[in-house]
Amino acid sequence: MKNNILLLAVGALLFLTVPALSQKAQDPPDTKLAIELPEIIYPDPVTESQKKAAGKHREGSQNLAGEQDELAADVQDLIEEQTDEKLISLLEEVEEVMAEVIDSLDETDTGGPTIAAETEIIEKIFEAAKQRSQQSGGT
C-alpha cells in the first residue's frame, strides 16, 4: 500500500512536471550549441515611466533572486537529510545551477540563459525524485 502511495506521488510529480518539461522546447536553447541565437537588444529607458518600469524589473529580478536563494537553502537542507551518494550528487548539481540563477537574477539578467537554467533545475529535481523512487523500489 505504501509503495502504491509512493508510486502515486511520483505520478503526481509527473503530472506537475510534464507541462514544465514540455515548456523546455519553447525556451531558448543552450548557448553552447552551435546555433546562433538572435541577439536581444534591450531598449534603454528614456521617459519617466519607462525608468519606473525598468526599476520594477530590477526590483522584481532581485526579489526572485531572493526566492531562488531560499529554495537553494531548502535544497541544502534536503541534501543533509540524504544518504544515497547519487541522490546527493544530483541535488548538489541542482544547488549549483540554482547558484548560477541567483547570480543572474541578482544582476537583473532575466533572459533566455537564465530561464534555461531554471528549466534545468526543474529537470534535475525531477531526476532526483526518480532516483529516490528507484532507491525505494529496490529496498
52 Rama class: left (phi>0) / alpha (psi -120 to 50) / beta: alpha
Closest among 94, 98, 104 to 128, alpha carbons compared: 94
If you search the block for the grid coordinates 523500489, which residue do you land on? Answer: 137
Distance CA 33, CA 37 (A): 9
d(CA 30, CA 50): 30
In the complex, what is the shortest distance from the CB of residue 14 to another protein, in angstroms, rounded to a whole number?
10
Write down the least CB distance from residue 80 to another protein, Å. Answer: 11
Q: How many residues does the chain have?
A: 139
Nearer to another protein, 18 or 32 (CB): 18
Kindly state the smallest distance separating residue 32's Cβ from another protein, in Å. Answer: 20
Interface ranges with another protein (CB under 8 A): 2-6, 8-10, 12-13, 15-17, 20, 40, 42-43, 45-47, 49-50, 52-54, 56-57, 60-61, 63-64, 67-68, 71, 74-75, 78, 81, 101, 105, 110-111, 114-115, 118-119, 121-122, 125-126, 128-129, 132-133, 136, 139
